[in-house]
A and B are shown apart, each in its own frame.
Chain A
Amino acid sequence: MFSYANPKRFMELSGHILPWLAALTAILFIAGLYLSFAAPPDYQQGDTVRIMFVHVPAAWVAMMAYGFMALASLVGLVNRHPLADVAARQAAPLGALFTALALITGSLWGRPMWGTYWQWDGRLTSFLLLLFLYLGYIALWNAIENDVRAAKAAAILALVGVVNLPIIEFSVQWWTTLHQGESIIRKDGPSISAVFLWPLFVMATAYTVLFFTLLIVRMRTDILDRRARAAVLGANA
């Protein structure tokens, strides 16, 4: 399977897919934003319910990106696949961005609804830790000059940090301090109304497709940079 994922083939394939992904991202964002503002105000949260349509998707992508980064790190570590290292490295800054957006938008929702911008609650604290894991991962890549060694060290950090994902997921059950429990994926079905579920679903899809579109462009950039470095080394040899 990995023979299909060599950098040359990746460049060919991704070049064909990218314009479609970019168009899909734009369409999903237009539809998602329309639905977000067309939804009625919530009977309890009022218009702050609209913050959920940018908060939950950002939080979802922040966690998914970490899972992706850890999986790519594992493949890079075990199979020594160069494209996997590139994927993991380029997912990190995007993951950090979405984590920061989730924290900021959550805090803007918390002030009017909980009465505070921040509380050291289980979900909030474990999410802040996710941001530090991303930043540590990026710093580690930048601190080690040799790409092969940097990839290895960063991959180990990414894999150790995976333990934080279930902590984030179950934090609302373990510590019922402030952040509300699950409302979408529940055994007895979602506990929120369809008028809010649709904008949430479309925006979450938009954020997810955006993540992969940007990731592919960033991976292409990384591969071009590696080629440029190799060409300079070759010319100087």
Chain B
Amino acid sequence: MPSFLDMGKYAAFVWPAYGISAVGIVAAVLLTLRAYYNARARLSAIEQSAK
């Protein structure tokens, strides 16, 4: 393991803190994008059927 990734005796606290932050942020990005593309598809489907 490269030395800058070695958290020594605090590894059990440092890595979960970064892991949970990463999971939370990535999930927020993915959910936000999915909702956006779904909304766009829904609106264009409604507009298509109205024509």
Contacts and interface: CB of A to CB of B under 8 A. Distances in A.
Contacts of A112: 10, 13
A231 B43 contact: yes
Contacts, number: 87
B29 interface: yes
B interface secondary structure, majority: helix
User: How many A residues are at the interface, by size bracket?
Assistant: 35 or more
Which among B16, B24, B40, B49 has the greatest number of chain A C-beta atoms within 10 A? B24
Nearest to B18: A54
Given A54-B18, A55-B17, A221-B36, A231 B5 contact: no
A231 B33 CA distance: 22
Given A97-B28, A101-B24, A231-B46, A48 B36 contact: no
Given A46-B8, A217-B33, A231-B46, A225 B39 contact: yes
A55 B32 CA distance: 22
Interface residues of B, number: 30
B10 A47 contact: yes
A104 B20 contact: yes
A47 B17 CA distance: 12
Interface of A: 37-38, 41, 46-48, 50-51, 54-55, 58, 94, 97, 100-101, 104-105, 108-109, 111-112, 210, 214, 217-218, 220-221, 224-225, 227-228, 231-232, 234-235
Closest 9 CB pairs of A and B: A224-B39, A47-B7, A105-B17, A54-B21, A228-B43, A108-B17, A51-B17, A47-B10, A221-B36
Interface of B: 4-5, 7-11, 13-14, 16-18, 20-21, 24-25, 28-29, 32-33, 35-36, 39-40, 42-43, 46-47, 49-50
